[in-house]
Structure 1
Amino acid sequence: MKIKPECALCITRQVVDVAKELTDDKSEQFKIIAWGLKKISEMYSESSVPSFMGTELHRHLKLKTQNSDPYKNLKDVANEFALKYLNDVEHLLESDDELERLQKKVKLAIAGNVIDFGPFSTDVNIENMVKTTLDGKLDLDFSEELLNELKNSKKVFYTCDNAGEIVFDLPLIKELKNYVEVVVSVKGSPILNDATLEDVETAGIDKVTKVITSGTDTIGIRFEESSEEFLSELNSSDFIIAKGMGNYESLTEYEEKRENSEKIPVYYILKAKCEPVAEHVGVCEGDNVLLRKEISKV
């Protein structure tokens, strides 16, 4: 997915958020924002991919501020919130109907996707957004296809998105394991508020299934930077489940069939939190999405 003109607003706001998170000193904030705006001006073009551009920007800010994890405090808060909230909603996820049960757990995973300090500012009412998602529906629903594919597969590659939301991924991952082997992937090192191994341990995912890292700090997935282990696990899976807009923005860049490559199905689970992504998916902003597409294997 290529960048849209209005993506400039989101990526600029991220720079302001990082500056405010790192320091209360206004002069330092201006300095950090100036660094970010200069970097944006170097990268911003209609051929850019939002997640790849965001990666370079946040790498630049980490280097300039000498802070390897600017969103550390926010990630911890998101994890704490999600763990408390999960206890309140888990009883709502059960059903004797396997399709309904799968749909409920996909919706919970989408509800977790609202815990994202990238497209949303850091002062939004996240609890209200989670409740609204759980009470809503799948506006784009490929759950029957997902269930059928699960019944005819052996292994699924599940790539996570943000800290906090990975807590809400856990019930879905457990449900998937009723059918297939599941390999979960997170970032190799901190970038934005994306989940790392530390967050996986907090969520308890490492206790229920195999977890690896991408070997890099790319927002979304960039095969050219991913580790051999990551590529091997992905290529040996029957299909991918990709959480969040960053994974959608990046993986859709690999839809064009490469020479001598085969296709692998991808189920995107996300909330369309901005107009550019919603337009690309073909839904309305704010819709809950479970979409099946295909990309070329590496």
Structure 2
Amino acid sequence: MKLTNECILCILNQTLNVCKTLNIDEDKTKEVLDEIASFVKEMKFDQTPPYVASFVYQKISKILNIEDLYSTQKELAIIKAKTLFEYTKDIVQNANDKLLFAIKASIAGNVLDLATPTNFCLDEEISKIFSNNFEIDNHEELKNDILIAKKIVYLADNAGENIFDNILLKTIKSINPTCKIFYATRSKPIINDITYHEALKCGHEEFAEVVDSGVDSPGFIFEKSTDKFLKLFEDCDFVISKGMGNFETLESYKDKKIYFLFKVKCNIVATHINKNVGDIICMKNI
């Protein structure tokens, strides 16, 4: 997906939200907004929103002298997710189609996103997601691929959301105990995405090997990754891509081995896939 004028407005709103969240004073906030406004007006529309956002957040961090802008919010999101984890896990374990429910559980956590214009409540999402249908549903194809896979790359997304990923990781291993799963994180703090060192504290290694993708953007970008991870990406049987950011950067990469799992949270993505804000998606790339 490519940058639009609406994306630029969203990035400016995100910039303001960062300053509000961190209680930055008015003068400093104006300095940040002026700097980001000058930067984004030079951006070209052949770039993806996450690519632009990676540089925007680097600039915000530099101006405010704060490396991890949302460190507190990430910690709180993980704590919140853990309070709902056992309840959600029990629902999945008692379901007839455990994979279907595990996918939905992992997508429920996708509402913990500080970079989208639409706000959702995690408690409400958990309470209703299991009765909602996928608006794009390729979960049977995903199940068939899991059954025969030897290596799976799982592109992680947000902090807090990652806790619910453990339910899906466990379910995948129950379907195919011998498959190797690589849980790939961001290399550095970017918005509220989960980083390598944060993921190591969240129990993923019971089901997968946590790996650093080398990427410091809120969406997987090949040019920002490492040779080691790119080889892993190339050699795996298929990729599970979580979240809108990863979708925005990878949907143009026409590789059928990528599955996108996310909740639609902005009008640009909704229009692009001809769905509505709030829809849940389990989509094989074509």
State the TM-score, normalizing by the size of structure 1.
Answer: 0.89
1:110 paired residue among 97, 107, 111:
107
Matched residue, 1:76: 75
**1:32 is matched with which residue?**
32
Instruction: Indicate yes or no: 2:282 matched with 1:290.
Output: yes
CA distances 1:215-259 after superposition (whole Å, capped 9, x unpaired): 23122111112112211211110000000011001012322xxxx
Q: 1:155 aligns with which of 151, 156, 170?
A: 151
What count of residue pairs does the alignment treat as equivalent?
Answer: 283
Query: Relative to structure 2, which stretch is displaced further, 271-280 or 123-132?
Result: 123-132
> Secondary structure of the residue that 1:240 maps to in structure 2?
strand
Q: Is the 8 A contact 2:80 2:160 kept in 1?
A: yes
Tell me which residue corresponds to 2:186: 187
Q: Distance in 2 between matches of 1:216 and 1:265?
A: 20
Q: Greater CA deviation, 273-282 or 107-116? A: 273-282
| TM-fit CA distance, 1:176 | 1.3
Question: In structure 2, what residue type is equivalent to 1:288?
Answer: I
- The separation in 1 between residues aligned to 2:158 and 2:114, in whole angstroms, is 9
Q: Distance in 2 between matches of 1:225 and 1:72?
A: 22
Residues 59-208 of structure 1 correspond to what in structure 2 (within 5 A)? 59-95=58-94, 97=96, 100-120=97-117, 125-178=121-174, 179=176, 180-208=179-207
Alpha-carbon separation, structure 1, partners of 2:10 and 2:125: 19
Give the SS at the match of 1:163: coil
Tell me whether 1:225 sits opposite 2:224 in the alignment.
Answer: yes
Cα separation, partners in 2 of 1:27 and 1:129, compared to 1, 3 Å: farther
Match of 2:253 in 1: 254
- Give the C-alpha shift of residue 78 in structure 1: 0.6
AA matched with 2:208: T
Deviation at 1:272, TM superposition (A): 0.8
Moved more, 158-167 or 216-225: 216-225
Aligned counterparts of 1:168 and 1:48: Cα–Cα separation in 2: 31
Distance 1:211 1:264 in 2: 24
Q: TM-score normalised to the size of structure 2?
A: 0.93
Q: CA deviation at 1:95?
A: 4.3
CA contact (8 A) 1:107 1:137 kept: no
Separation (CA, whole Å) in 2 of partners of 1:89 and 1:95 = 10
Please state whether the residue corresponding to 1:184 is helix, strand or coil.
strand
Tell me what 2:269 maps to.
Answer: 277
SS class of match (1:284): coil
Query: Structure 1: which amino acid aligns with 2:92?
Result: L
Q: Which deviates more from structure 2 when the two are superposed, residues 26-35 or residues 179-188?
A: 26-35
Question: Is residue 33 of structure 2 the alignment partner of residue 12 of structure 1?
Answer: no
Structure 1 unaligned segments of length 5 or more: list them: 256-262
Q: Which of 266, 276, 280 is matched with 2:258 structurally?
A: 266
CA deviation map 1:175-213 (0-9, x unaligned): 112312111100111011110123313321123321111
| Deviation, structure 1 residue 96 | 6.7
What is the CA–CA distance in structure 1 between the aligned matches of 2:120 and 2:143, rounded to whole Å? Answer: 34
Determine helix, strand or coil for the equivalent of 2:214: coil
Give the 4+ runs in structure 1 shifted more than 3 A.
123-126
* Corresponding letter in the other structure for 1:146: L
* Cα separation, 2, equivalents of 1:215 and 1:29: 30
**Helix, strand or coil at the partner of 1:203:** coil
Which residue matches 1:258?
A: none
Report the AA paired with residue 34 of structure 1: D
Q: SS at the partner of 1:70?
A: coil
CA spacing shift, 1:198–1:131, aligned 2, 3 Å: farther
Corresponding residue of 2:49: 50
Mind listing any 5+ residue stretches in structure 2 that lack a counterpart?
Answer: none
- Structure 2 letter corresponding to 1:140: I
Q: Match of 1:89, as an amino acid? A: T
- Secondary structure in structure 1 of the residue aligned to 2:285: strand
